[in-house]
Chain A
Amino acid sequence: MTDSMFLSKPKKIRFFIINQLANPKNFFQFTAKLQPWINFFALLWIVIGLIWGLFISPADWQQGDSVRIMYIHVPMALLASTGYILLAFCGFSSLIWKHPLADLAAKEIGPVGATVTALCLITGSIWGKPMWGTWWVWDARLTSVLILFFLYMGHIALCHAFDEPQKGYKAAAMLALIGVFDLPIIKFSVQWWNTLHQPNTFSLTHASSITLSIAAPLICCFIGFSLGFIGLICIKIRTAILEQQIHRFLINAPTLSKEQI
């Protein structure tokens, strides 16, 4: 009998995630089944959200039609921070538990997180031009998100900086953990400093400041982009697992030429 048979349901789920999915083979098989569903629902929610946001939702009384940029800017901003939390969690798992998938996952999350953060900055800049009259200001929120982008870039650079990958992964994991300090700064920058950036739209403690007709497509877009983000990370981790297997095969069968592959 296995240990999992004696565990309560929430503990069983935790046991499954930490122990069963830690095995790359199990992770590969589990995500292979989920991948088409994640892709399908991501595309569905994104299409619904973007069509709703572009053509059906009303224009803002103050910002006019440019408020529609929010439907992509806000999900990108939330995913940029969430991605970094994932990166830090992978770093923690790698340093403390030596989780076999943590380094691979962190290596693959980095570029996706950097892309999402870059999109957040670019779409924010495009939104800022008609609203603020400038593409960029050294505002606390914008600067802290720019630092987040540099943290992602640093993580990617460290992963590839050493001849021995494990050294790079360890350094990158430490950077990911140190960089977590930037997340509360991003979150509270609009409260701590007088910024040009508007205050948080959504809050756990206060009622939302936006109407349902604008919030609904935003939530649709957020669900869609989040599923897309998960799907993208899954396919990248699955690829990394395959590449690891290829590397092992090549060590065992070095006679095989590149042309044969």
Chain B
Amino acid sequence: MTHLPYILSAYGITVLTLSGLWFISYKRFNQAKKKLDVLKKHNYEA
């Protein structure tokens, strides 16, 4: 019995889930940073 499908699925699920979490976290960070910059600029101009 080959164990390859089990090994590949375990590694695939882990790598994809953690990469996805990283991507979402960095996207959220960049969006927050951009929003704050706009707000700071608006506050400065006001």
The chain A residues found within 8 Å of chain B, CB to CB, are: 50, 54, 64-66, 68-69, 72-73, 76, 112, 115, 118-119, 122-123, 126-127, 129-130, 228, 232, 235-236, 238-239, 242-243, 245-246, 249-250, 252-253, 256, 260-261
Given that A119-B17, A228-B18, A250-B39 are contacting pairs, would A65 and B10 also be in contact in the complex, using a CB cutoff of 8 Å?
no
Contacts of B9 in A (CB 8 A): 126
Task: Select one of A54, A130, A242 contacting B11, CB under 8 A.
Answer: A54
Task: Select one of A64, A72, A245, A250 contacting B14, CB under 8 A.
Answer: A72
The chain B residues found within 8 Å of chain A, CB to CB, are: 1, 3-4, 6-7, 9-11, 13-14, 17-18, 21-22, 25-26, 28-29, 32-33, 35-36, 38-40, 42-43, 46
* A-B complex: 6 closest residue pairs judged by Cβ atoms: A242-B32, A66-B3, A249-B39, A239-B29, A126-B10, A123-B10
Contacts of A50 in B (CB 8 A): 11
CB-based A-B contact count at 8 angstroms: 87
Contact residues of B: prevailing secondary structure: helix
A112 to B24, CA, bound (A): 12
Decide: A123 and B25 in contact? CB cutoff 8 A.
no
Smallest CB gap from A235: residue in B: B25
Decide: B22 and A232 in contact? CB cutoff 8 A.
yes
